[in-house]
Chain A
Amino acid sequence: MIRFLKLAYLNFTFYLFFILFSSAAVTSCGVGIVLSALVLSRRRVLRLLRRVICWYGTVIIRILPFPLVRIRYTNYASGEDQGPFIFVCNHRSSSDPFLMAGPCRPYECIQVVNVWPFRLPVLGLVAKIAGYLSVREMPFEDFLKTTSKLLAEGVSVIVFPEGTRSRDNSVGQFHSAIFRVALQTQRPIVPLCITGNERIPPVGSGILEPGIIKINRLKAVPWETYRTFTPFKLKNFVRGMIIQEVAAMEKAL
């Protein structure tokens, strides 16, 4: 009974405030961005928009479901500052993209996403304007060109190379596209390991369950470490790091 009440409270308050906050944020930020576009350069407007998206994500995942959903973030790369980075994450839940504000701060970031986030009303459009990339809808050559340009401009790239959410909490096979970009651009790769949100919400459902989400940011893998790797070896090297860390995180729960 208590579990049901917690579930009902969490979902009622979350979705109510989600709609209210999103409506207010999209309207006010939309006006702000349009006005700033009149006086600022396109580059600065994009930087502003990406920062706003970061703050929006923070409110959605850290504040609205609190205290029934809590986030514990551990940074093993403290003091490391050589961005822009390529952030590589395991993917368990549709809440993953909202979690990125913490581990990726203070870097300006875009996310490489699947087709479906672009189909979300309003949020999909905002993501598109902010330069988020739908990897399945672009040829690899275009993806390489676009991500290389973004990294050269100082924009970090966040990727979920499994391509789809894990159904059994295992870390699926990785797609190599972003690792080919890394080999070309020589940018450091930061593995991000996420556990605890597989039911926030579960695959195929919109119902959030109470829980603790853990995010561990591992030390960056510098170009010097992977320069001799093939794309295949590099993707499995990073996948191995994530699998090992995720196993340790789950053991510690």
Chain B
Amino acid sequence: MVEQDIIRMVNEVFNESFEIPEDKLVPGANIFNDLGLDSLDIVDLVVALQKKFAVTIRDDERVRTIRTLGDIHNFIQLIKKENKK
């Protein structure tokens, strides 16, 4: 899966699950301050990402370090790579 596909699919998750408009979905956007998610929304986000990418990230400690949309793109890319191995 190429980076552009990951970005598109992550953005789709934000659009479908949270109805956040495309123009706000820039890699530097802070998911808490700029996009308005809170800790409970993160649970919903994780569930939606797991479904979209067919991965298990719920218990991954690295989720806690995510702050920006760009962090999510990188994290999903990393998970995908790890799953390939």
Contact = CB atoms under 8 A, between A and B. Distances in A.
A233 B38 contact: no
A76 interface: no
A47 to B, nearest CB: 31
B77 to A, nearest CB: 25
A232 B44 contact: yes
B17 interface: yes
Interface residues of A, number: 13
B19 interface: yes
Interface of B: 17-19, 32-33, 36-41, 44
B32 A232 contact: no
B38 A176 contact: yes
Contacts, number: 34
Given A230-B17, A230-B18, A236 B36 contact: yes
B32 A173 contact: yes
A180 B17 contact: no
Nearest to B33: A173
Interface in A136-183: 140, 173-177, 180
Nearest to A175: B38
B32 A231 contact: no
B32 A180 contact: no
B40 A177 contact: yes
Contacts of B32: 173
B33 A231 contact: no
B40 A173 contact: no
Contacts of A174: 36, 38
Interface string A31-66: 000000000000000000000000000000000000
A232 B17 contact: yes
A231 B47 CA distance: 15
B72 to A, nearest CB: 16
A231 B17 CA distance: 10
A236 B17 CA distance: 13
